[in-house]
Structure 1
Amino acid sequence: MKPKFLKVLAAAALPLLFAGCSQVTTTEKPQESTPESAQVNYDVKIDFPEDRYPLTAKHIKDAVEKGEDPICTIDREGADENRKLSLKGVPTKPGYDRDEWPMAMCEEGGQGADIEYIPPSDNRGAGSWVGNQLESYKDGTRVFIEVQ
């Protein structure tokens, strides 16, 4: 995973680099309340259902507030390695899953991801929901995930 400084620098520089371009790669503009880091280009936005998976939603919000990226660049092939790197040194806890943000299936995931202990029903339900939402998108698709 790249250092957060480079992500912030890239987030600030990209709009300047492409200011004169006429093609927009976003399908929807972020709302005013969108975190600054999400105001970079993305391909699709999904609204994560806080009412269905409240503990995972809280983890996503908390991680983004701490500086993690709300955008996931789909990288299914890198998921196993990202999971291994993100969970390294984080012990298991009986009755809980170790939830990662950014998710292991995201290019942004891996070493340095924010980890939270979440009950399996919430965490696995959330993972299944996200997987279903993203199954038709190819690797490389940039997804803005907003908790609603």
Structure 2
Amino acid sequence: MRIVSLLLLTLFIATGCCSQKKADMKATQIEYSALSRGYYKVITVENKTVSVVKERNAEAVKSNIDDAKWNEIVSAYSKVNLDDLSTLKAPTDKRTYDGAAIGNLKITKEGKTYETPGFDNGFPPKEIEKLVNLLVDFSKE
């Protein structure tokens, strides 16, 4: 009987932790931007919706995110250390001579903003690569 109640308690606690993680994403906005003189892209994800702007002064194209893709985003987001975002180093420097657009990841959670320094579009730091690639996929659709 003790084993059964211990297993139920463990299951109950684990379920509570998972639902708390998803609740945190409801108060979170993730924005990826890539900008240069001739290139403009801003992708914003918030609460299972995405908006993509591909040109300056253009209207955002909004759509819903399916559950499978949303779970991938939540998983990638959970691996990002928000406090370390501002200290990430770009792996390449093509943006310094117009070889690539300047990429930037900005996460707003509960009113506090966390932002990366600029990096080359297409070459994000390893720590955020999975999340950035998932966001960029929305602009290809």
TM-score, normalised with respect to structure 1: 0.28
Larger Rg: 1 or 2?
A: 2
Q: Which has the higher contact order (CA 8 A, sep 6+)?
A: 1
TM-score, normalised with respect to structure 2: 0.29
Greater helix share, structure number = 2
Greater strand share, structure number = 2
